[in-house]
């Protein structure tokens, strides 16, 4: 028997993951990497119609940023995460300074702190103005004692994985197709 198969799924990394999405964690239990090099704070993103955030780089002019619909541009914090199946993703939480978003920002920071130490899942709660956290240790003891798999196959490190994800999801010009789609729908 392959000794790797005896390990919990979260400790196994069987193949190289080539696409790292920027997404919310769905119903998965996840951990967040503790390194400051695997996070980016206060980034403006365009929330595309498919739900996939794209990072607005400095190459996107202020004029175009102001022309985009306000409900699709968000200020977020990004963090490298891994789910219970060993799949990497970049999770994002609100970084808005607006009064009505402040509780969501604070809640996101609480989630980050918890997910650096424990396997958790989250559920947004509009009534509470933040996230409800569920700990794996309350339901899944084996997962709760499992260490996240941050050692990656091949040449990748958590930092290089995070950087390549950011680079693959950047909008670098006013002429980006994603931006143009939003601008065309406003006319």
Q: What is the pLDDT of residues 47-68, one digit of tens each?
A: 877 778 999 999 999 999 999 9
The answer to whether residue 186 is domain-embedded is no
Distance CA 138, CA 151 (A): 27
Query: Are the C-beta atoms of 145 and 34 separated by less than 8 Å?
Result: no
The answer to whether residue 184 is domain-embedded is no
Which structural domain, as residue segments, surrounds residue 156? Answer: 3-11+18-169
User: Total structural domains in the chain?
Assistant: 1
The answer to whether residue 176 is domain-embedded is no
Q: What is the pLDDT of residues 139-172, one digit of tens each?
A: 999 999 999 988 776 778 899 989 999 999 999 9
| Percent of the chain clearing pLDDT 70 (strictly above) | 88
State the average pLDDT over residues 113-135: 95
Q: pTM for the full model? A: 0.85
The answer to whether residue 105 is domain-embedded is yes
Residue 149 exposure: Cα atoms within 13 Å on the Cβ side: 23
* 103: pLDDT strictly greater than 60: yes
């Amino acid at each position: 028997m392959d000794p790797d198969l005896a390990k919990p799924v979260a400790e196994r990394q069987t193949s190289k993951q080539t696409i790292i999405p920027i997404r919310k964690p769905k119903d998965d239990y996840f951990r967040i990497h503790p390194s400051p090099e695997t996070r980016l704070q206060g980034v403006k993103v365009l929330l595309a119609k498919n739900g996939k955030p794209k990072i607005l780089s400095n190459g996107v002019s202020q004029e175009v940023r102001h022309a985009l619909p306000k409900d699709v541009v968000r200020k977020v914090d990004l963090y490298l995460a891994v789910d219970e199946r060993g799949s990497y993703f970049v999770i994002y939480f609100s970084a808005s300074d607006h009064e009505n978003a402040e509780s969501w920002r604070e809640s996101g920071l609480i989630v980050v702190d918890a997910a650096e130490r424990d396997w958790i899942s989250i559920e947004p709660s509009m009534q509470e103005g933040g996230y409800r956290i569920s700990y794996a240790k309350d339901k899944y003891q084996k997962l709760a004692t499992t260490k996240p798999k941050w050692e990656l196959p091949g040449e990748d490190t958590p930092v290089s994985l995070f950087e390549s994800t950011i680079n693959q999801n950047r909008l670098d010009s006013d002429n980006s197709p994603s931006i143009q789609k939003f601008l065309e729908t406003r006319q």
